């Protein structure tokens, strides 16, 4: 393989660059707080007490290790062996808690009293509010006014767990507004507050740090597959929005040249349409949200509403390490459409009694493309990033659309289907 030797494990460099990507592109007032955070992360990440605290929370609060489950009926359907890494079985039903627990424990070790975060669809806000409650810390979740209206149940969940939801009222009153206002608040109270970012994106050290906390997924999977099958997998597959569950699975295997890796993006209505989130498939390198990375070209997708069926994948950038891994040819990135996602989602429900998140169903949809095309002994690990109970309303709407059902919720351009989750 044309991939550079063992260099992969030591990236990024001290300025947070993965090759040409990543770094820290921020206004001067953010430099100090980010430097303090970087120092804190490097001071505590290998600290024995910190590691013991994190291991304990992962085990007793979240329920790790998550199973690596051989989905036999689903494997039979596809014609090769599929092992599901069951991140859907974590407390709160997704991989997001791995990162939130790590960062919240770090915040406490750094002496911070309050956690600040932004949220779009609300999933990251809920996970952050939960860890703040668990550690008895104050918590402010910034959420666009428009998103609060769309995501009322998550607003209720966040408030139930004792956090404040602060409406972001600037600009489009969605995620961008929430990011701007949350960062502004952090700069004002960085002495006592910790900013908890939800994926492997943003300025250094977040992409490195979030990878560190999510790589528990791949560490467990590597041990489990060797215990259960006595060998490494042939392929790893994961959906990629910001890219944290994907890198969490991939990281531990990057130096194993025999292991192929595929990140699956959301092609929404199609990569040639104006509604998708296929960053690496269609985008080009640029600076966004404090990092250099591939980014969807301005003007190629609509600025409003949902770009794909899964809110968690609807992000115009991607973690810088993924940009690097794409250019290096180490990971392949594919994009699947909403239309492919629904039948894949239904297959897993019907064949295994597992309702996957629509985000995770993008990875499943990619496997459907391989159906009958691989050797039956092929061993694939698919990261089942979350459970789909949250997605029932969206499923009902989209299923109706695909059937041309009049009650199914419109044409996807206007009406209730538009922006329901994103
Ligand atoms: C948030 C979310 C994602 C997307 O985030 P990544 O950082 O790309 O992992 C994927 N799956 C689920 C279930 C999510 O909640």
The per-residue DSSP string of 95-132 comes to THHHHHHHHHHHHHHTT--EEEEEESSSHHHHHHHHHH
Q: What is the per-residue pLDDT for 5?
A: 47
* Closest CA relative to residue 322, chosen from 385, 386, 239: 239
Ligand 1 geometric centre to CA of 406 (Å): 31
CA-nearest residue, atom 13 of ligand 1 = 386
Record the tokens describing residue 298, joined without a space: 């301005």
The fold of 30-59+96-210 is Rossmann fold (3.40.50)
**Which residues make Cβ contacts (< 8 Å) with residue 225, sequence separation at least 6?**
68, 83, 231, 232, 233, 379, 381
Ligand 1 geometric centre to CA of 1 (Å): 29
Record the tokens describing residue 10, joined without a space: 């030591």
Q: What is the per-residue pLDDT for 8?
A: 57
Into which CATH architecture does domain 66-93+215-408 fall?
3-Layer(aba) Sandwich (3.40)
Q: What is the per-residue pLDDT for 399?
A: 85
For 364, phi then psi, to 5°, come to -60, -40
Residues in the chain where the model's pLDDT stays below 50: 1-6, 406-422
Atom of ligand 1 nearest to the CA of 244: 7
Q: So which residues are the catalytic ones?
A: 96, 118, 385
What residue ranges of the chain are covered by domains with CATH 3.40.50.1100? 30-59+96-210, 66-93+215-408
- What are the pocket residues of ligand 1 if the criterion is a CB atom closer than 6 Å to any ligand atom? 94, 96, 123, 199, 239-245, 312-313, 357, 359-360, 385-386
CA-nearest residue, atom 3 of ligand 1 = 312
36: enclosing H helix or E strand: helix 28-44
Give the pairing type, strands 284-288 and 291-295.
antiparallel
Supply the DSSP symbol for 257. T
Average pLDDT, the chain: 92
Q: According to DSSP H, which parts of 173-319 are helical? A: 175-188, 206-214, 216-229, 244-250, 279-282
Q: How far is Cα 324 from Cα 285, in angstroms, rounded to an integer? A: 11
Atom of ligand 1 nearest to the CA of 123: 15
Ligand 1 geometric centre to CA of 94 (Å): 8
Q: What is the per-residue pLDDT for 305?
A: 72
């Amino acid at each position: 393989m044309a991939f550079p030797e063992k260099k992969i494990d030591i990236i990024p460099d001290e300025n947070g660059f993965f090759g040409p990507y990543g770094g820290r592109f921020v206004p001067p007032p953010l430099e100090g707080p980010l430097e303090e955070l970087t120092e804190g992360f490097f001071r505590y990440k290998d600290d024995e007490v910190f590691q013991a605290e994190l291991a304990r929370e992962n085990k007793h609060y979240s329920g790790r290790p998550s199973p690596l489950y051989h989905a036999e009926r689903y494997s039979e359907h596809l014609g090769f062996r599929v092992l599901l890494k069951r991140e859907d079985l974590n407390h709160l039903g997704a991989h997001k808690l791995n990162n939130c627990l790590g960062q919240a424990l770090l915040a406490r070790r750094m002496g911070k009293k309050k956690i600040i975060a932004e949220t779009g669809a609300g999933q990251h806000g809920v996970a952050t509010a939960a860890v703040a409650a668990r550690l008895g810390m104050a918590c402010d979740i910034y959420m666009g006014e428009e998103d609060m209206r769309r995501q009322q149940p998550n607003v209720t969940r966040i408030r139930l767990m004792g956090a404040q939801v602060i409406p972001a009222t600037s600009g489009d009153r969605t995620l961008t507004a929430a990011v701007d206002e949350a960062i502004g608040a952090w700069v004002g109270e960085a002495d006592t507050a910790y900013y908890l970012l939800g994926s492997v994106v943003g300025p250094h050290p977040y992409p490195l740090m979030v990878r560190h906390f999510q790589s528990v997924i791949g560490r467990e999977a590597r041990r489990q597959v060797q215990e259960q099958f006595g060998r490494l997998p042939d392929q790893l597959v994961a959906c990629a929005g910001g890219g944290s569950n994907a890198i969490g699975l991939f990281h531990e295997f990057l130096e194993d040249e025999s292991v192929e890796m595929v990140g699956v993006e959301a092609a929404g209505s199609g990569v040639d349409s104006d509604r998708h989130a296929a960053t690496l498939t269609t985008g080009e390198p640029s600076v966004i949200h404090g990092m250099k990375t591939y980014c969807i070209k301005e003007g190629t997708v609509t600025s409003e509403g949902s770009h794909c069926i899964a809110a968690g994948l609807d992000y115009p950038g991607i973690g810088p390490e993924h940009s690097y891994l794409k250019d290096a040819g180490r990971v392949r990135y594919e994009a699947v459409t909403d239309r492919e996602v629904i039948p894949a989602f239904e297959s897993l429900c019907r064949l295994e009694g597992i309702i996957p998140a629509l985000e995770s169903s993008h990875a499943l949809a990619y496997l459907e493309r391989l159906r009958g095309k691989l050797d039956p002994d092929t061993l694939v690990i698919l990261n089942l990033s979350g459970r789909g109970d949250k997605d029932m309303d969206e499923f009902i709407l989209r299923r109706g659309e695909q059937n041309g059902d009049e009650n199914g919720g419109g044409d996807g351009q206007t009406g209730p289907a538009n922006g329901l989750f994103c």
